[in-house]
């Protein structure tokens, strides 16, 4: 009987130490302060280095992601880089293409999707423009840079 109690106590201590280790490592998420510098603009936020947050994406955030320099700079970028597809130009196609994508917490753009696909190469040109645009400022939630969904219209006229 005494041996049974000793084994039970060892098992209990083992599980207690194991659980304490698991909870302590779970609650300690490494965080680093980061400043993004893009085209002369900067953004400060915290970035979690915990790999469990790599595939977390937000629909709604406190501060939305943005193109460096803001909306005016984005419009200038579009004007300077847009290539109106020849098929669309021949047909006189004018349209607004809404493109949705993810701006990751490091500013990279990924996972492009066209909400209402357009013919004559307009959808492909919208994707090309966003890819060409480079890094964006990420969204911020509770002081942390986070990956977020973003939708933007691109007008072809």
pLDDT at 5: 56
Evaluate whether residue 14 is within a structural domain: no
Radius of gyration for the alpha carbons in the chain, expressed in angstroms and rounded: 24
DSSP state of 52: G
List, in order, residues 6 or more apart from 22 with CB less than 8 Å away.
none
List, in order, residues 6 or more apart from 82 with CB less than 8 Å away.
125, 129, 154, 156
Number of domains in the chain: 1
Evaluate whether residue 52 is within a structural domain: yes
| Tokens linked to 131 | 């890819």
Evaluate whether residue 13 is within a structural domain: no
Evaluate whether residue 130 is within a structural domain: yes
Evaluate whether residue 2 is within a structural domain: no
pLDDT at 7 over 90: no
Which domain does 100 fall in, by range?
A: 29-156
Whole-angstrom Cα distance, residue 123 to residue 65?
Answer: 22
pTM above 0.85, yes or no: no
Evaluate whether residue 3 is within a structural domain: no
Residue 115: CATH number of its domain: 3.30.1150
User: For the segment 34-46, what is each residue's pLDDT rounded down to a tens digit?
Assistant: 777 766 677 777 8
User: For the segment 89-124, what is each residue's pLDDT rounded down to a tens digit?
Assistant: 888 888 999 999 999 999 999 999 999 888 889 999
């Amino acid at each position: 009987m005494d041996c049974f109690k000793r084994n039970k106590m060892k098992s209990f201590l083992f599980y207690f130490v194991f659980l304490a280790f698991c909870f302590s490592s779970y609650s300690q998420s490494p965080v680093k302060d980061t400043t993004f510098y893009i085209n002369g603009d900067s953004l400060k936020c915290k970035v979690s280095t915990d790999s469990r947050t790599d595939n977390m994406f937000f629909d709604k955030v406190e501060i939305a992601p943005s193109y460096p320099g803001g909306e005016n700079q984005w419009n200038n970028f579009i004007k300077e880089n847009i290539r109106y597809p020849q098929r669309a130009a021949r047909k006189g196609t004018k349209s607004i293409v809404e493109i949705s994508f993810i701006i990751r917490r490091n500013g990279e753009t990924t996972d492009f999707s066209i909400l209402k696909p357009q013919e004559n190469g307009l959808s492909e040109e919208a994707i090309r423009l966003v890819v060409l645009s480079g890094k964006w400022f990420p969204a911020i939630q509770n002081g942390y840079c986070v990956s977020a969904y973003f939708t933007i219209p691109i007008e072809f006229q």
